[in-house]
Amino acid sequence: FPSHDKMFVLLCAFPYVRILPIDSVTQPYATVFAVILFFAFCASIPRVIFALAAPLGFCLLIALFFVFLSILDGITFGSFKWFASYFSAFFTFVIACYFISIDSKSVRQALLFSFGAWVLVGLIQRSFDPTFLTGLTSTRDADAASALLSTGRGVSGLAHEPTHHAFHVLLLAATMLLLSSKGRLLVLVGMFFSVFIVTGK
C-alpha cells in the first residue's frame, strides 16, 4: 500500500477519477486527505512552509468572509464550490511542500508513475479504444468518445475532455522538472507526444 506521501500525490495526480459516485467533475479526495494530513503532521511542518503559504491563507480568510456573507442570503452550492478552490489550494500546497521537503525522491516517483499512466491511457485511447478507462471519470459511451476523437480535439484520457487531459499532463511534467533534472529529456518527449500528438489532430 502506498505511503502517505505517495498516496497524496496519486490523489492529486488523478483528480477526475471517481472512487465514490460523487456528481462533480473534480473529485474531493486529495483535498480531504490533505486536511487530514495537515492536522496529523502540523507540529512537524517547518515554519518556512507556513510563511510560503501565508498568501494562500490570507485568500482563504477573505473567501471565508464572503462565503459567510453569501450564506446570509441563502446557502448555494456555487458558494461552497468556489470556496473549495481556496480551501484546497492552502492545504494542498502546505502538505505538498512538506512531503517534498522530507522526501522529494518519493514524491517524484509517484509523479513519474502518474505521468506515465496519463500518457499511456491517452495513447491507448488514441490508437485502439477511445473509451479505454473513461468509465473511471464519466459515463461517456463509445459513440461519444469516437465522435470526440474524430473532431480532431483528441482524447479525454483520465480527464473529462481533451483540454483537461493536455493541461494536466503539462502540469505533471512541469512539476517533475522542477523537482529534478533527471530524465528531463524523457519527460519532455512524453509531454510533447501526449499534448501535441495524442491530444491533437
pLDDT (0 to 100) of residue 140 = 53
33-73 pLDDT, tens digit per residue, is 999 999 999 999 999 999 999 999 998 888 888 777 777 67
- Give the DSSP letter string of the chain: ---HHHHHHHHHH-TT--SS----SS-SHHHHHHHHHHHHHGGGS-HHHHHHTHHHHHHHHHHHHHHHHHHHT---HHHHHHHHHHHHHHHHHHHHHHHHHHHHHHHHHHHHHHHHHHHHHHHHHHHT-TTTTGGGT----HHHHHHHHHTTS---TTSSSHHHHHHHHHHHHHHHHHH--TTHHHHHHHHHIIIIIIS--
Q: What is the pTM of this model?
A: 0.86
Contact 91, 35 (CB under 8 A): yes
The answer to whether the Cα torsion of 26, 35, 53, 90 is positive or negative is: positive
Higher pLDDT, 1 or 70: 70
Higher pLDDT, 10 or 154: 10
79-128 pLDDT, tens digit per residue, is 666 677 778 999 999 999 999 999 888 999 999 999 999 999 988 888 88
